[in-house]
Chain A
Amino acid sequence: MAMDLADVSRLLVKASKDPVLRTGLDRSISSYWKKRKAIFGRYPYVEELARQVREIKERSISMMEELVKQAKESVEENGGIAYVAKDAEEARKIVGEIVGSGRMVIKAKSMTTEELKLREYLEELGNEVYETDLGEFLVQFLGPKPMHFISPSIHITREKVAEFLERFMGESVDKDDVEGMVALVRKFLREKYFTADVGISGANVFAADVGGVFLIENESNIRLTITLPDKYVAVVGMEKIVPTLGDAWKVVEVITRYGGYKVTSYVSLITRPSEASSGDLGPKEMHVIFLDNGRTEAAKDPVLRETLYCLRCGACQYLCPVFGIVGGYWSGLGSAYSGGIGVMWSYITEDEERASYHSFACLLCGRCKEACPVKIDQARVLREIRRRMAEKMARGINPP
């Protein structure tokens, strides 16, 4: 049966009544807001930098097809293998062929691979796949989906984690010993790093001129994922490409600050496979897949295009009043993405009908635009999604 607004209502009402989810949301939102105020106090120039990043993104998206070509050439010059995947199915197939079956695969947290449902696909092919980001590791086993761009496990309490780890590791776990639980997961993953055949990541931003993938992190899991296995695969949404290394560094700084970090522990830049002669420990093969999946079409759409400026810093999610009540349930459990920006991403890359119904949960209050480093007008885009749906419906109700 076709979907309707009642399905959205049922899902969101249920989420709004979940006290565990609400506690998690309340805590992370108030912590984010405090950190954000401190960061803007200490680095007042970040707003000017964000304005420059808006210009970089506007320019990049208007020349996206050209940048994909440049990026692909750079990867090949560096000795990597570059691909362009037109949709999710093609991207999965490419990765599937690189990985094969019966392999051990480790992953860095990546929304774009969530969009592809890549982990599930590789498991179906008979591979063992592990998320190495702590939050994402928990979501892999406890579900239902990553709740936020950078805080995927907002909804999982430490009690739930303790209960899961006892079952999963077969060891007794103290729910108040957070460090102990972290150490337990680390120990488990450490062994996987050294036996993994393939490491997979997304990209926070990609510099076309040097063919470089930038990855921002705090746990050092990404460094291990991209260097230890023999094969490294990066899945890069086309909108992540900017012209130069200098542009990319600006994007990195803005993502970090608006994501609620003064600095992160690490920023990695990877450009090519290891050179055997230099004794480099890096991967022997580097594969970079540039993913379209609706992005080229969206880049040409005067309204939807703004979605592609998104840096996925999560600021708008933290500060959205509806997200504060229902978290990542908004946009749907079947969607990798969350919140109003998630509905926009989902409309472009996943399921237009589901996203259209979810667009009606937006208040059009505009706080997301205030929060956003590149000032994406989500209210405008979501209203346009509604308008397109209403237009289709009107045509259906009163055929011409």
Chain B
Amino acid sequence: MDLKDVFSLLEDNARRTWNPLGVREIKCGEWAKGLGLSERGEYLLYTGCLYQMVPDIEAFSGILKRLESAGKTVFSVSLKITRALNKLGLDLTGIYTTIAVSGERRERFSAVLRNIVRALRSVGIEPAYMREEPYNGVLYHDLGLDHLFEPHARRLAEKIRRTGAKTVITVDPHTTYALRHLLPEVVEGWDVEVVHYLEVLAERGYQPTKRGGSAVIHDPCYLARWNGVLDQPRELLDRAGIRLKEPEFSRRFTGCCGGPIESLLPTIASEVARKRVKELVEAGSKRLVVACPICLVNLSREAREFGAEVLDISELLG
């Protein structure tokens, strides 16, 4: 694999769609259909498009993993073909994912976001949304592609400002991190308040439906370490009557799901995820609860082998 090819593909996609996988912003906003959300308001629910991209990420990294094991040349050639098709306006990743990803699969991730809207409404918040929802830009930053990240971040900040929101409510930890810690470095005068929806729900005394049962909690790195959100998910799950089990590595010492390197080193990413699932299952339940779309993809893939099920926290907070 030639790093240059990967970078070029991301650059092409960024130029075409402002999204690293070429997912259109109008598709990112589709989850809100029928909810009657406004496009302007005091509170903006901004998803960063990450939950919506889960099926695309799964499909894309599936291809990458096969290419990785087929060797370097195949990988580079495939990326070059992908780029060539992109230039002709044929989106190979898009075509592949449209075929490979069932509507049902996409529906699960829309449902995650819709659950969150329902919960926010029940504590008195009517969030606005963006019909054409931009990606959060974190991958560009992580890979050191500042020449892609910086214009992306400025455009994102401008789009958020245009909604008139004073507070942005985020749903995935990477977006929370980007808006809290990265945007202020890049965007002049960025002073919008950023809160994660679990912080909002915990603070406003949200009461989820009582469910019972037990689950092992997995803290996402970006939520626990980079944003310090540790007690809120535990408190909310407790209110839902769920008996929580803590793995050996938890809270600030939580273990990564492998996700951040799955696009470059998919085999290592999957080994990291497998080890983490094992640690989680050893805590005493096969029901694993996460609060991040990337953790959800990576741990779910490996959980099958252990007969475990991975749920997004919002799926237990209805």
Contact = CB atoms under 8 A, between A and B. Distances in A.
Contact of A16 (B8, B75, B141, B267): B267
Nearest to A12: B268
Contacts, number: 119
A357 B271 CA distance: 20
Interface string A360-391: 11111111011100000000000111111111
A304 B221 CA distance: 23
Contact of A388 (B144, B221, B256, B259): B144
Contacts of B141: 383
A356 to B, nearest CB: 9
Contact of A5 (B2, B71, B259): B2
A4 interface: yes
A173 B227 CA distance: 54
Nearest to B142: A364
B144 A384 contact: yes
Interface stretch (A67-75, A77-85, A105-113, A320-328): A320-328
Most buried by A among B147, B248, B253, B268: B268
Contacts of B276: 321
A396 to B, nearest CB: 8
A389 B260 contact: no
A362 B271 CA distance: 14
Nearest to A7: B72
A6 interface: yes
A4 B265 contact: no
B206 interface: no
B33 interface: no
Contacts of A371: 253
Interface of A: 4-6, 8-10, 12-13, 16, 33, 319, 321-322, 324-326, 357, 360-367, 369-371, 383-391, 393-394, 397
Contacts of B221: 363, 365-367
B3 interface: yes
A397 B3 contact: no
A361 B72 contact: no
A9 to B, nearest CB: 6
Given A5-B1, A6-B72, A325 B144 contact: no
A367 B143 CA distance: 19
B268 A16 contact: yes
Contacts of A367: 221, 225, 253-256
A67 to B, nearest CB: 32
Given A16-B267, A365-B225, A386-B143, A370 B253 contact: yes
B260 to A, nearest CB: 5
A33 B147 contact: no
Contacts of B16: none
B59 interface: no
B68 interface: yes
B258 A6 contact: no
A321 B142 CA distance: 17
A184 to B, nearest CB: 35
Contacts of A365: 221, 225, 256, 260
Given A4-B3, A33-B249, A390-B147, 16 more contacts: A6-B71, A9-B267, A9-B268, A10-B72, A16-B268, A321-B276, A322-B272, A365-B256, A367-B225, A367-B253, A367-B254, A369-B225, A370-B253, A391-B147, A393-B3, A397-B8
Nearest to A36: B253
B271 A16 contact: yes
A21 to B, nearest CB: 12
B7 A390 contact: yes
Contacts of B268: 9, 12-13, 16, 322, 325-326, 361
Nearest to A383: B144
B226 interface: yes
Nearest to A330: B268
A13 B71 CA distance: 12
B1 to A, nearest CB: 5
Interface string B1-45: 111101110000000000000000000000000000000000000
A363 to B, nearest CB: 5
Nearest to A366: B225
Nearest to B226: A366
A387 B146 CA distance: 7
B145 interface: yes
Contact of B256 (A9, A363, A383, A390): A363
B195 interface: no
Contact of B3 (A360, A362, A363, A391): A360
Contacts of A325: 268, 271-272, 275
Contact of B272 (A360, A363, A390): A363
B80 to A, nearest CB: 14
Contacts of A362: 261
B166 interface: no
Given A9-B1, A9-B68, A360 B253 contact: no
Given A4-B3, A5-B2, A365-B221, A360 B271 contact: no
